[in-house]
Amino acid sequence: MNAEEFRQRGKEMIDYVADYIENIQERRVFPTVEPGYLHQLIPDHAPEEGEKWEDLFKDIERVIMPGVTHWHHPQFHAYFPTANSYPSICADILSDAIACTGFSWACSPACTELEVVMMDWLAKLLNLPEQFLSGGKGGGVIQGTASESTLVALLAARHKAVHDYRQTHPDVKNDEEVAAKLVAYCSDNAHSSVERAGLLGHVKIMQLPADDKHSLRGDTLQEAINKDKSQGLIPCFVCATLGTTLSCGFDNTKELGTVCEKEGIWMHIDAAYAGSAFICPEYRYLLDGVEHAMSFDFNPHKWLLVNFDCSAMWFKDTSYMVEAFKVEPLYLRHNNTGSVPDFRHWQIPFGRRFRSLKLWFVLRLYGVKALQEYIRKHITLAHEFEALVVKDDRFEITAEVIMGLVCFRIKGPNEPNEKLLKLINEDGRIHLVPSKINDTYFIRFAVCAKSTESKDITYAWSVITELATGIMENNQ
């Protein structure tokens, strides 16, 4: 493809993308294909000679679209949202054109410097404590995912804990002796990526019971720490969650943070989904306690109209992480080494995309007010759905609705709820996923798409009640 062809085909692709997004509601939200479907639609080897654009373009509808779950369909209510916006797509095109690999400042100074400024812009939007901003010991970086951020935080905490322990215990022979005794904590409602970070980082993770509001409390943490210390273990890390995947519960970061500070433990906050809402002053109270955290992360790629991947992570003191991750061969050094951030020291991978362009485009083209309105609209729609559930006394709400997620179930045993969810997803008009806390099975209804409106909420509820009524009648 030469430049002239690229101009023409690129425009065709933009038209296809705009048509896809604007007419997405005409598609079935969840695909009907069986595993292995795609294998039968394309050859099992790459073509010897280049093919025609027209042939490839036709195959988007024939091969790809039948197997796509349409996350931006107004009736997609599963998981949590993943963001999508035209400004962000435009920025990604530019990022793909520049196609730099920003592992150091010298790789493309704009790539590093825009990221530093964007992370400060975002930090100010969230009203994060000053220590998280660049200029002092702290600073922010864009990671690929919240899971990576948790792992990075855990590894930095592990490094710090081993170092601190050896300072006060000079008789200890090596780092491994300390590392084997490290222990970390999260709530039993935390995302699976926390447990995984423990597996990858070789730190035992204790899942502590959340209270009846799905919140991990300070006294539960303190008790666990006391017990573990009495057995010779070394507590080093707590991952608190603001907006759990199971029910959008909020851990009590003020209480947890107070315990962590007293015990000299690293607190990381995972606010993957809910973090975007903290740009609204009326929801900022949910972030209180962040002043006790050593690191904090949320995903603009979930709820802030920045396409995947863009996970925003801040540190109060970046030196622990840089010390933990730093490897600096001669060929990576440059004239400004040491005086500018080289972001490869702040992350797991070596290379990195120019992701801050997405933030820059979205923040400038929408502006703060429109982004706040976007968050508020989703939360209002969630409350509209909640009101419909509450009005029907066959159903119950299982968790306080704080953000854009509603957890609900048919009253009574789990089985009709399991049946209902199976019917909903087989029916295919809407798409939802389940959750379970303390053996109670329930259904999660998340407001996800940019295009979801009140009429889609009432439509979803009409589908749910129609299918639920069928189940209840059959059971009589």
Q: Interface residues with ligand PLP (CB under 6 A)? A: 80, 145-147, 191, 193, 241, 243-245, 270, 272-273, 299, 311
Task: Return phi, psi of residue 353, to 5°.
Answer: -85, 165
Q: 221 and 238 in contact (C-beta within 8 Å)?
A: yes
Question: 191, 268, 292, 431: which is the annotated catalytic residue?
Answer: 191
> How many angstroms separate the Cα of 265 from the Cα of each of 97, 256, 290, 292?
43, 10, 14, 10
Torsion of CA 143, 145, 146, 149, to 10 degrees: -40
Q: Residue 238: exposed, middle, or buried by beta-carbon count in 10 A (0-12, 13-18, 19+)?
A: buried
Minimum Å gap between C-beta 150 and ligand PLP is 7
Minimum Å gap between C-beta 147 and ligand PLP is 3
SS3 assignment, position 269: strand
Minimum Å gap between C-beta 223 and ligand PLP is 24
Q: Residue 288 CA to chain centroid, in angstroms? A: 20
Minimum Å gap between C-beta 88 and ligand PLP is 16
**β-pairing, 139-143 with 311-315?**
antiparallel
Task: Return phi, psi of residue 127, to 5°.
Answer: 55, 45
Cβ closer to ligand PLP: 247 or 356?
247
191 is catalytic: yes
Cβ closer to ligand PLP: 193 or 417?
193
Name the DSSP class of 308.
Answer: S
Cβ closer to ligand PLP: 245 or 252?
245
- Dist. CA 60–CA 63, nearest whole Å: 6
Minimum Å gap between C-beta 272 and ligand PLP is 4
Minimum Å gap between C-beta 309 and ligand PLP is 7
Q: 235 and 270 in contact (C-beta within 8 Å)?
A: no
**β-pairing, 139-143 with 433-437?**
unpaired
Q: 30 and 421 in contact (C-beta within 8 Å)?
A: no
Cβ closer to ligand PLP: 95 or 241?
241
Q: Cα 285–287–288 angle (5° rounding)?
A: 70
Minimum Å gap between C-beta 269 and ligand PLP is 10
Minimum Å gap between C-beta 362 and ligand PLP is 17
Cβ closer to ligand PLP: 162 or 248?
248
Residue 409, strand partner residues:
396
Cβ closer to ligand PLP: 349 or 412?
349
- Dist. CA 407–CA 247, nearest whole Å: 6
The secondary structure element, H or E, covering residue 313 is strand 311-315
Residue type at position 460: A
Concatenating the DSSP letter of every residue in 7-29 gives: HHHHHHHHHHHHHHHHTGGGS-S
Cβ closer to ligand PLP: 297 or 456?
297
Question: How many CA atoms does the CB half-sphere of 254 hold within 13 Å?
Answer: 4
Cβ closer to ligand PLP: 104 or 187?
187
Q: 179 and 162 in contact (C-beta within 8 Å)?
A: yes
Catalytic residue set: 191
